């Protein structure tokens, strides 16, 4: 058994090359000994979001606070709230962030996944219905 303390994980501003707006992330847990899971705590301020991206493995988003907007390439954006969970399949082009005029927080659980960052999400894409 290993315990990962959230207070030991530094809270950092996200990389502006991969996100639009203000967001913070904490890498809560990973296991370099071969367990292929990494857990991030991500806080999005209103209007903040990731760029479009894909993962080589599955990603689970567990919404813990506020509202999160998420969109799969070729589909309309959807909103989820605290208590909801989203599974993104390997290779699905997508983005996620705070819903307009709302703050959102999720845990991102990446399972045997690397991330390929793509283009920013435009305001038109972000606000579309």
**pLDDT tens digits, 8-66:** 999 999 999 999 999 999 999 998 787 899 999 999 999 999 999 999 999 999 999 99
Task: State how many domains the chain has.
Answer: 1
pLDDT of residue 129: 81
Nearest to 108 by CA among 18, 1, 47, 16: 18
Task: Give me the residues paired with residue 98 across strands.
Answer: 68
- Within a domain: residue 18? no
Going by C-alpha positions, the residue among 47, 34, 23 that lies closest to residue 100 is: 47
pLDDT tens readout for residues 71-87: 999 999 999 999 999 99
Check residue 127 and give its pLDDT: 93
Look at residue 42 and tell me if it is in a domain: yes
Residue whose C-alpha is closest to residue 67's, from 95, 22, 106: 106
This prediction has a pTM of: 0.93
- Given the DSSP bridges, would you call strands 85-88 and 35-44 parallel, antiparallel or unpaired? unpaired
Give CA–CA dist 84/72, Å, rounded: 17
Distance separating alpha carbons of residues 82 and 68, to the nearest angstrom: 9
Alpha carbon 21 to its chain's center: 13
Question: Is 31 inside any structural domain?
Answer: yes
What pLDDT sits at residue 54? Answer: 98
CB 63 within 8 A of CB 83: yes
Evaluate whether residue 120 is within a structural domain.
yes
- What is the extent of the structural domain holding 83? 23-127
pLDDT of residue 105: 98
Position 33 scores a pLDDT of 80
């Amino acid at each position: 058994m290993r315990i990962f303390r959230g207070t030991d994980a530094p809270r950092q501003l996200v990389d502006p090359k991969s996100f639009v707006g203000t967001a913070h992330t904490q890498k809560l847990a990973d296991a370099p000994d071969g367990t292929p899971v990494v857990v991030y705590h991500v806080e999005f301020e209103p209007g903040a979001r990731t760029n479009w991206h894909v993962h080589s493995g599955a990603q689970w988003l567990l919404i813990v606070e506020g509202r999160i907007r998420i969109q799969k390439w070729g589909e309309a954006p959807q909103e989820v709230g605290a208590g909801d969970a989203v599974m993104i399949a390997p290779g699905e082009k997508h983005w996620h962030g705070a819903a307009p005029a709302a703050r959102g927080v999720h845990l991102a659980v990446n399972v045997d996944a690397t991330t390929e960052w793509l283009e920013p999400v435009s305001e038109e894409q972000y606000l579309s219905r």
